[in-house]
Amino acid sequence: MTLDLSKYAAERGIKYFMISYTDLFGGQRAKLVPAAAIADMQKDGAGFAGFATWLDLTPAHPDLFAVPDPDSVIQLPWKKDVAWVAADCVMDGKPVEQAPRVVLKRLIAEAAEQGLRVKTGVEPEFFLISADGSKISDELDTADKPCYDQQALMRRYDVIAEICDSMLELGWKPYQNDHEDANGQFEMNWEYDDALITAAKHSFFKYMVKSIAEKHGLKATFMPKPFKGLTGNGCHAHISVWDMAGKTNAFADKNMPFGLSAQGKTFLGGIMKHASALAAVTNPTVNSYKRINAPRTISGATWAPNTVTWTGNNRTHMVRVPGPGRFELRLPDGAVNPYLLQAIIIAAGLSGIRSQADPGPHYDIDMYREGHMVTDAPKLPLNLLDALREYEKDTELQAALGTEFSAAYLKLKTGEWNTFCSHFTDWERSTTLDI
């Protein structure tokens, strides 16, 4: 039965709803709607000028309507009279095929046709920095090996605890919070769920972290590589696939190597097969390639891949299989679009199942020390342009995510790259001024 948002508002004292959709660049766009008007909005959606956001639309296109999904509604723990609700983009009565949430829902339906239910968890890392964005906010957080630093974690207790308390209140089942491998960096984990639910929670999590950080006079950033010499912000994805009842792990087989079933291995094969093109979506910014192609950090490791390899329980590879029936994709970074992350995982995995893709040999080596010995595995793209070219060449993956989406994404992201190339930097002046 569909939740009536008007009744929800009356029961919980909600005064306003934020009807929110996510554009191609991962930006969250919202309208603040009074509860008195939510009934009409639930039926027809809130109107937007799509051209004004990162979608491939023109000023001449008709209104884009963001139709709220009541199942996604969240009452803000830190502002109880406001509720956030994820929305699907509709134009002229039809889904906007390039909209990330629409892309993901279509792929979830395709997986369901094969009797598969994809469940995922994400590990979005973030920095807490000064309000002006110029430096790490905690001047005492200076250790060379800051990961799990107890003192640094507790100095940010007020922020981290408020975020975790909010997740507990929302029923997300958070289970651990830690100081990560860079100074000023943190990670918070909550229970995995169906791919669409995880995507919505991931979207809300980013909004929540930024909002609570601002409340405490700080700024939170998920930027892939905000500081030279420090570990970047990853967003590792843990993937398992189940039967439609969600009770039996379809990829678990204790009699197979790594506890991964034959079907699970072909799903992994799809991830490996399309990895270079995946990067265009999982690592979507110019800055992303400062993380996955970084030199050694102050802590001693980047914790990011640069080669298309997989392994068992070994964090130096692009994919690790830490336990039966699941694997971790370590490629995505903090800038990844929450909906497109889930969509491209499912698209690549289903491609692997269809083609019975072999993931190739696994490697047990430390890639940070011995990666140069691997000569038969592709290197990940060196920059955003290379990644976009890989995606452009991968017509199968383009088709899986949808031709309208793929054309729009390539067009807008290529424009972003061109803007970057035309930008003059201090580095150019410092290295070229006296030539």
Listed as ranges, residues in the chain with pLDDT below 50 are none
CA dist 171 and 147 (Å) reads 27
Give residue 298's pLDDT: 84
Give residue 42's pLDDT: 98
Give residue 5's pLDDT: 98
Q: How far is CA 419 from CA 55, 282, 395, 407, 414, in A?
A: 17, 20, 26, 18, 9
Please name every residue paired with 194 in a beta bridge, in sequence order, or none if there are none: 119
- Residue 51, sorted as left (phi over 0), alpha (psi -120 to 50) or beta, turns out to be alpha
Give residue 295's pLDDT: 82
Give residue 120's pLDDT: 98
Give residue 31's pLDDT: 98
* Backbone angles phi and psi of 417, in degrees to 5: -60, -45
**pLDDT tens by residue, 80-130:** 999 999 999 999 999 999 999 999 999 999 999 999 999 999 999 999 999
Give residue 15's pLDDT: 98
**Count of CB atoms situated within 10 Å of the CB of 13:** 10
Give residue 296's pLDDT: 83
Please give the radius of gyration of the chain, using alpha carbons only, rounded to the nearest integer.
22
